């Protein structure tokens, strides 16, 4: 068994160094994990920063010759890896040094297809850190990263689809397929950076994302997995 950390990056030179450093500072031995880095046609210094990590035998760098988008890049990472388990890491976020060791230990002893942990959300303008607990499961409190899944199930459901909320659509299909409850690690292992460059800050993005998800899945099905923010339901 092995874990692949998949990082998809487009013009992330401001943050990607910290992200990569966090992966290569793990307490888990590097023989148990690798890193799949997909550079999605960046035109900044992402390439030169990422390629420094080619000195590690468990780092694999791939580059799209044009910007294909997040969904295509994530699916490319899934196609490339041969690992049994997958964790996505956004290029502007980072993980605790013990993160992979925690996920690895749970993977070995628990019969779970989806392993989640608590996280910290960091406001980039104030550096204020807020703890997000996932003890009471609500799918819509998850983010696209810091969640461990089985590659064979991801292949069975044909990976990511082109949704604005691509992670929610994926998690819904994943849980519908596996029928198992997620395993929760009650520790903050992921650091999620909230900053103005995030595409979720674009005007109307969030409403459009929920409209798309509701149209595809229906409110009743979505409510089986979590609580939809009321402000997005009322406008449909």
| 3-state helix, strand and coil shares in percent for the chain, rounded to the nearest 5 | 40, 25, 40
DSSP 8-state assignment for residue 200: G
More confident residue, 235 or 10: 10
The CA distances from residue 88 to 93, 111, 114, 127, 190, in Å, are 10, 21, 13, 23, 11
Provide the 10 A C-beta neighbour count for residue 185: 18
Residue 86 pairs with which residues in a beta bridge? 4, 149
Exposure string (b/e) for 36-55, b if CB count within 10 Å is 16 or more? Answer: bbbbbbbeeebbebbeebee
| Segment 87-141, tens digit of pLDDT | 999 999 999 999 999 999 999 999 999 999 999 999 988 989 999 999 999 999 9
Categorize the per-residue pLDDT at 232 as very low, low, confident or very high, splitting at 50, 70 and 90. confident
Q: Is the pLDDT of residue 234 over 70?
A: no
pLDDT for the residue numbered 200? 57
Residue 208 lies in a domain: no
* β pairing state of 183-194 and 94-95: antiparallel
Length of the chain: 236
pLDDT for the residue numbered 124? 85
Contact 102, 185 (CB under 8 A): yes
The CA distances from residue 146 to 155, 204, 219, in Å, are 19, 26, 26
Q: Please state the domain count of the chain.
A: 1
Residue 118 lies in a domain: yes
| Segment 159-194, tens digit of pLDDT | 999 999 999 999 999 999 999 999 999 999 999 998
d(CA 19, CA 213): 29
Q: Is the pTM of this model over 0.85?
A: yes
Residue among 223, 232, 212 nearest 138 (CA): 223
d(CA 98, CA 167): 24
Q: What is the CATH number of the domain that holds 11?
A: 3.90.550.10
pLDDT for the residue numbered 178? 95
| Segment 15-37, tens digit of pLDDT | 999 999 999 999 999 999 999 99
Q: Which domain holds residue 90?
A: 3-200
| Segment 44-74, tens digit of pLDDT | 999 999 999 999 999 999 999 999 999 999 9
Categorize the per-residue pLDDT at 231 as very low, low, confident or very high, splitting at 50, 70 and 90. confident
Residue 191 lies in a domain: yes
pLDDT for the residue numbered 196? 67
Residue 140 lies in a domain: yes
Residue 102 lies in a domain: yes
Residue 34 lies in a domain: yes
Mean pLDDT of 147-169: 97
DSSP letters spanning 20-77: HHHHTT-SS-GGGEEEEEEEES--SSHHHHHHGGGGSTTEEEEEESS---HHHHHHHH
Residue 224 lies in a domain: no
């Amino acid at each position: 068994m092995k874990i692949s950390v998949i990082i998809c990056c487009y013009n992330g030179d401001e943050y990607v160094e910290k992200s990569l450093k966090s992966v290569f500072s793990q307490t888990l031995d590097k023989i148990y994990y690798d890193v799949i880095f997909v550079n999605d046609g960046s035109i900044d210094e992402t390439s030169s920063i990422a390629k420094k990590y080619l000195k590690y035998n468990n780092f694999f760098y791939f580059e799209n010759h044009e910007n294909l988008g997040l969904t295509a890049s994530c699916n490319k990472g899934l196609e490339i890896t041969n690992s049994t388990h997958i964790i996505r890491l956004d290029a502007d976020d980072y993980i605790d040094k013990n993160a992979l060791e925690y996920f690895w230990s749970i993977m070995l002893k628990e019969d779970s297809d989806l392993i989640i942990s608590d996280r910290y959300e960091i406001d980039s303008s104030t550096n204020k850190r807020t703890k997000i607990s996932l003890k009471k499961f609500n799918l819509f409190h998850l983010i696209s990263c810091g969640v461990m899944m089985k590659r064979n199930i991801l292949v069975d459901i044909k990976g990511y689809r082109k949704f604005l909320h691509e992670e929610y659509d994926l998690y819904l299909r994943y849980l519908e397929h596996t029928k198992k409850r997620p395993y929760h690690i009650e520790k903050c292992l992921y650091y999620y950076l909230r900053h103005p460059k995030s595409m979720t800050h674009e005007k109307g993005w969030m409403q459009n994302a929920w409209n798309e998800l509701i149209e595809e899945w229906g409110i009743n099905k979505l409510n089986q997995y979590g609580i939809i923010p009321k402000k997005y339901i009322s406008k449909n």
